[in-house]
Structure 1
Amino acid sequence: MCGRFVLTHPSEALAQLFEAAPSNDLPPVPNFNICPTQAVHVVTSDEGGRRLQAMRWGFLPHWYKTPADGPLLINARADTLAEKPAFRAACRERRCLIPASGFYEWTKDRDDRRLPWYIHRADGAPVAFGGVWQAWEREGERLQTCAIVTTDAAPSLAHIHHRMPLSIEAADWPLWLGEAGKGAATLMHPAPDGVFDFHRVDPAVNSNRASGPRLIEPIAA
């Protein structure tokens, strides 16, 4: 799964990288502790081209009466994405990319204390999470919302957590975004070993109120 992530790359650089027109309401970066329900950067594509825009991290199916009605859907499993009522239409019609610099996962020690790890691309480039999005509207309130698709973890990361976000390589962005026809399902697999690196970080990140670059600095494991 993915419950927290990091974005340090500037919005202007992301717009250039993804060849997307940026919206004027993008959330501030850097953010070293992005939490569910916060606004995140999302790349979408339609006949007008690609757009880099802000969306709520927490997918809202159209039948939710309020944003708090039902489970908080921050992740969507790749193996059931096309079957779940909440995601199956978005899987076909509304796929997106969610830029990140890295993400957090946790293990536990012998005393059941949560030990955070920071996971990032070994080459330092931004990660493009595969995602799905949904426009939700009720009684005049309208929200653009998204969820991160997850797969089995890469073998080198499985000792930290058995799931990880779907990572889409740059050559496959057109296929995931629907620009290159059908076949996006072929992309829903774990990242190969060697793409991601990881290190232990300070338990300060266990608090969703923590912030600052110290959260991703390595500590002794």
Structure 2
Amino acid sequence: MTARTSTETARDIPEATVARLPVYLRALVTLADSGTTTCSSEELARAAGVNSAKLRKDLSYLGSYGTRGVGYDVDYLRYQIAREIGVTQDWPVVIVGIGNLGHALANFSGFRSRGFRVVALLDADPARQGELVAGVDVRPFDELDEIVGEQSVAIGVIATPAVAAQAVADRMVTAGITSILNFAPTVIEVPEGVDVRKVDLSIELQILAYHEQRKSGVHVAPDAREQVS
């Protein structure tokens, strides 16, 4: 088995562009909420944190939605990007692992507003089962297959400790889940046709620590480096 991290879209949009489309969508939502109805590529690029040339190239893969001298209709472009990335429909999601992180994810209000509906919270710990989190009952992990079948779930979220993540992923794949968001601090392997996105907060913090160290001019001594695995 090999780890998959992305899927080519039917229109062969580059993966780097696909990764930026949700950023553009978020920027457009913010602009719309502030009352902005049209914006230039420069304004949208600034709101999204990219350069305008890159933004124009990315949007060219979707079609021609801008008007020369006017810019982009914010609501229309927002809809087109949302449709392209599939969040104009309602995606049922299951979360496995209802510890601190699982609780936080279950309570995240952004799921619903972005086209995702948490239909089940699952945990193998009997002590967790029966809890009510964000209005959803925590159910036994053994019910995964039944829930996936009943709710037509294609997306699963893993919020378990690392030691359990691979077994959870295997069970998700067997149940019919074809996309996995992995928060466990480990690499999971899945068969061809199953997509995995990994979110590792500790890695992101370590990257920030690297940049902070460079800004402060602190250098790690050779003997200190040897002690870091």
Band of TM-score, shorter chain: under 0.3
Whose helix fraction is larger, Structure 1's or Structure 2's?
2
TM norm structure 1: 0.27
